[in-house]
Amino acid sequence: MRQFDHHRPNPARMYDYMLGGKDNFAVDRQAIDQLAELIPEAVPLARANRAFLQRAVRYVARAGVDQFLDLGSGLPTQGSAHEVAPRARVVYVDSDPVVAAHAAILLRRSPGMARFIHADLLDPVNVLTRAGEFLDLDRPIGVLLVSILHFLPDSADPQGAVARLRELMAPGGFLVISHATTLGHLEDEERARGFYGGPSASGGTDRTPGQIREFFGGWPLEPPGLVQATDWRPDRPKLVGDWSLPSSLMAGTGKKP
Ligand SMILES: C[S@@+](CC[C@H](N)C(=O)[O-])C[C@H]1O[C@@H](n2cnc3c(N)ncnc32)[C@H](O)[C@@H]1O
């Protein structure tokens, strides 16, 4: 069965290993060890992304939202939304059959506040219809699109799918996004444009800060806006001489008026 193939690395299990999890096999660990030799910042960047997700979930929960929809969730482990906001209801969505097979097992450990849906986020009406069996969509929800949109090329129209999601969400809901960009500084946008259109460093579709901002539609962004993931409401101030990550992952949170 494909989902229990121990011999082929799987991206979700590889990601779990990068985050320090134990839901992975030797073949996944070998793949990441090789990747880390080639791209030393890959693992710190994955962890910085996950730390952003956790800070954003806490922020949205503190704002009074008690239900989350995590799109492109990966394996629901290693500080996932239902672990960070244990009083919230959470629906995880992923299109990978390996994630689907493992998620069902993993969520049995949690006390009934989380569900998993095996679906494509590019079909938001299907996703919301199914999520609506567990979440009350007439009330605000927090929608997480964390480190996923850069895997979706413009030809798949992620912009259209996210616009539909925004339309269907109740006012007061939050959209949480992190996204790869080759240059993380807004002032570099003009310079960045020259890089797009060709293959990106991440192997996905890196977008300019302006293109990432468009995923929020006209919604206002919560302070500090769209910034490097490590700079989004950090838990502690930066220390002088702190090693900083390359500016390749931008993050922000918008609220539906
Ligand atoms: C890098 S992981 C991100 C995990 C998590 N969101 C995080 O940031 O920690 C990306 C996940 O998106 C999933 N994915 C890719 N395309 C998808 C799609 N069209 N619909 C749903 N999930 C998708 C992949 O299977 C993978 O598990």
**pLDDT value at residue 245:** 58
Rounded to an integer, what distance in angstroms lies between the CA atom of residue 166 and that of residue 186?
A: 24
CA 99 to ligand 1 centroid distance, Å? 9
Query: Pocket residues for ligand 1 (CB within 6 Å)?
Result: 11-12, 15, 49-50, 53, 72-74, 93-96, 99, 120-122, 146-148, 151
CA 71 to ligand 1 centroid distance, Å? 7
Residue 135 counted as domain residue:
yes
Give me the count of residues in the chain.
257
**Cβ atoms of residues 251 and 178 within 8 Å:** yes
Residue 33 counted as domain residue:
no
Rounded to an integer, what distance in angstroms lies between the CA atom of residue 177 and that of residue 249?
A: 10
Residue 51 counted as domain residue:
yes
Q: State the closest ligand 1 atom to the C-alpha of 12, by its place in the atom list counted from 1.
A: 27
**Cβ atoms of residues 215 and 145 within 8 Å:** yes
Cα torsion 206, 212, 214, 215: sign? positive
- pLDDT tens string 47-95: 999 999 999 999 999 999 999 999 999 998 889 999 999 999 999 999 9
Residue 22 counted as domain residue:
no
CA 100 to ligand 1 centroid distance, Å? 12
Residue 19 counted as domain residue:
no
CA 96 to ligand 1 centroid distance, Å? 8
Q: State the closest ligand 1 atom to the C-alpha of 156, by its place in the atom list counted from 1.
A: 19
Q: Number of folded domains in the chain?
A: 1
- pLDDT tens string 207-244: 999 999 999 999 999 999 999 999 999 987 776 666 55
CA 239 to ligand 1 centroid distance, Å? 32
Q: Longest Cα pair distance anywhere in the chain, in angstroms?
A: 51
- pLDDT tens string 21-51: 998 999 999 999 998 888 788 888 899 999 9
**Cβ atoms of residues 74 and 94 within 8 Å:** yes
Rounded to two decimals, what is the model's pTM?
0.90
Residue 48 counted as domain residue:
yes
Residue 130 counted as domain residue:
yes
Give the domain range for residue 109: 42-255
First-to-last C-alpha distance (Å) of the chain: 46
CATH of the domain at 250: 3.40.50.150
Judged on CB neighbours under 10 Å (0-12, 13-18, 19+), 33 is exposed
